[in-house]
Structure 1
Amino acid sequence: MRDLLSVDRVANQIRLRRSTYSETFVLVEGGSDKTFYERFVDKLVCELVSVSGKPSSKLRVIAVLEILEKSSFQGILAIVDADFERLETLLYSSPNLLRTDTHDLETMLIKSPALNKVVAELGSEEKIAQFNRDVRLALLETGISVGYLLWISQCDGLNLTFEGITFSKFINEQTIQIDEIKLIRELKNKSQAFSLKDEDLQQRLMAEKSKSHDPWQVCCGHHLVEILSLSLRKAIGSNKAADVEPNSLERNLRLAYEEVFFRDTKLYLDIRIWESNNQPFKVLRNDI
């Protein structure tokens, strides 16, 4: 009930703000998303509103959008992570709701040349040469197993806990190869889900992997950053764990992400289309 009240409160705050502000409101999922999009929006004609909280920031963003749309509120746009929605039924469809190109904002950063810049800065040329694999591809190939198990957990109602799992327990730090049984056991231990059978989960995982979904829609950005953190310690770098911890890496990726990279995304195009369909409301700066 408290969540519903807080969603109504956000919607009412935006309605109240409209009395003195005639420009665009853009709803985003949280503080880091707001920090990212602030670099591209025209702050003179667009205001970003962070709608974070439990149980899901994304669901709260959509709930606020629905409330405002039902009252025919003009100049409202929401941008959320796609998550697994391109692999299943969309949660909510609206011309005022846009999604990231890939699974989430972090995978958009990793797919872009921002990753190359961070690896060049924090990696070792010699180790990268010895690694002899494309770093981005290696992250995807390893992270997809974790992504699929997260999707399986959601689809099958397994309620597995992914937050706080120790990636070094199931990923080889030298090769970045994943041991799926060790991953399954780490998830079971973290979730206290000992009734689940290793073999059943592994077979379910193999069945999903055989469908060859787009890895950029399956892999979760936070997982890929965890794997990148591991790789920069031994496989492609010699950093101390504290120097390449995941939150710091995500910040580095955001800083390395240039405006020209954003202009190459479908999300950028979708925002421009929204602007043309909702004149005179604007979102992005003209010089982007």
Structure 2
Amino acid sequence: MREFLTVNRVANKIRQLRETYSGTFLLVEGSSDKVFYERFVDKLACHLEITAGKPSSKQCAIEILAILETSNFQGILAIVDADFDHLQNTPVKNPNLLRTDTHDLETMLINSLAFDKVIALFGSEDKIIKFGRDLRSALLESCMSVGYLVWVSQSDGLNLKFDGIEFSKFVDSQTLKINELKLITEVINKSQAYSLTNEDIQKRLTNKKSSSHDPWQVCRGHDLVEILSIGLRKAIGSNTAIDVKPNSDESKNTLEGILLLAYEEIYFYETQLYSEIRLWETNNPPFKVLRNNV
């Protein structure tokens, strides 16, 4: 019921704004998404609206879009996280709905040179050399089990809880490798899903895994940043937990916030999402989203 109220409230707000505003309305999932896209949009021609809600901001964005389109509302576009859509070959039939290239916005940041800037700022050259592995590859390899577990939970309807899990309980601070059994135990305990066994979950994970899956689609950005934070405290750096705090709703002085700041416009030009936004503009005159110099 609360989701229904939230969706309708945002849809009605946009309808009211249309009475005095003739530009594009861009729906995004959360505050960090808004901070990201604000750097590229034409603020006179495009208004950003956050769709945060339950059960998911993504679903809210899709439903708000559908409500407005039912009344033939023009100049509305939604950009959402792909999540597992690319892996599941989930088609997008709505030209007004675009998805991130990789799993989510945070993976797009880590897959760019913004990541290298953060490593140069917080990493220790000696420790990185001693670590002896490509950092992105190491993070992705470690994070795959978490991503697969999230995917299994969603596809099998297990409703496991991942918010607040303590990565230090299952991530080795020196190698950044994950102990899968400890991960499963932590998630089961956090979810209070005691009817599930480690053996059952491991079997489901094994069935879900495939070497053909793109790690950038399996891994969630928030999880990658959590593991990166652990690494920057010991394996590849000597920072304090406060210095490399993964994320927070209250502060931009976090790894995710710094990644956002380190992301340059030129990185965005190279994404499929950028091309799709430009195509949307071409197909929806006179509505605009991006600045002319972007």
TM-score (norm 2): 0.95
Alpha-carbon separation, structure 1, partners of 2:2 and 2:188: 31
| Residue number in structure 2 paired with 1:233 | 233
| Residue number in structure 1 paired with 2:276 | 270
Question: Cα distance, 1:93 vs. partner?
Answer: 2.9
Q: Is 1:142–1:177's contact at 8 Å kept on the other side of the alignment?
A: yes
Higher mean C-alpha deviation, range 198-207 or range 64-73 = 198-207
Q: Secondary structure at the match of 2:193?
A: coil
- Give per-residue Cα distances to partners, 1:232-282, cap 9 Å, x unaligned: 000100001111010100000000000000010000000000000001110
Alpha-carbon separation, structure 2, partners of 1:51 and 1:260: 27
| Residue number in structure 1 paired with 2:41 | 41
- Give per-residue Cα distances to partners, 1:209-229, cap 9 Å, x unaligned: 235311111100100000000
Question: Cα distance, 1:89 vs. partner?
Answer: 5.6
- Which residue, out of 275, 280, 283, partners 2:286? 280
2:84 is aligned with 1:84:
yes
| Structure 1, unaligned runs of 5 or more | none
- Which amino acid counterpart does residue 46 of structure 1 have in structure 2? C
Question: Cα distance, 1:91 vs. partner?
Answer: 8.0
Question: Cα distance, 1:3 vs. partner?
Answer: 2.2
Alpha-carbon separation, structure 1, partners of 2:137 and 2:92: 31
Would you say how many aligned residue pairs link Structure 1 and Structure 2?
288
Map 1:65-84 onto structure 2 (within 5 A): 65-84=65-84
Map 1:1-288 onto structure 2 (within 5 A): 1-88=1-88, 90=90, 93-247=93-247, 248-288=254-294
- Which amino acid counterpart does residue 264 of structure 1 have in structure 2? E
Q: Secondary structure at the match of 1:27?
A: strand
Q: Is 2:160–2:193's contact at 8 Å kept on the other side of the alignment?
A: yes
Q: Which has the higher helix share?
A: 1
Alpha-carbon separation, structure 2, partners of 1:12 and 1:190: 37
Q: Secondary structure at the match of 2:243?
A: helix
Alpha-carbon separation, structure 2, partners of 1:229 and 1:277: 42
Q: Secondary structure at the match of 1:236?
A: coil
TM-score (norm 1): 0.97
Question: Cα distance, 1:164 vs. partner?
Answer: 0.7
Alpha-carbon separation, structure 1, partners of 2:202 and 2:275: 39
- Which amino acid counterpart does residue 204 of structure 1 have in structure 2? R
Question: Cα distance, 1:194 vs. partner?
Answer: 1.9
Alpha-carbon separation, structure 1, partners of 2:229 and 2:81: 22
Alpha-carbon separation, structure 2, partners of 1:156 and 1:209: 14
Alpha-carbon separation, structure 1, partners of 2:271 and 2:200: 38
Q: Is 2:77–2:97's contact at 8 Å kept on the other side of the alignment?
A: yes
Alpha-carbon separation, structure 2, partners of 1:118 and 1:20: 42
RMSD of Structure 2 on Structure 1 (CA): 1.2
Q: Is 2:6–2:53's contact at 8 Å kept on the other side of the alignment?
A: no
Over the matched positions of the two proteins, sequence identity in percent amounts to 66
| Structure 2, unaligned runs of 5 or more | 248-253
Alpha-carbon separation, structure 2, partners of 1:166 and 1:91: 34
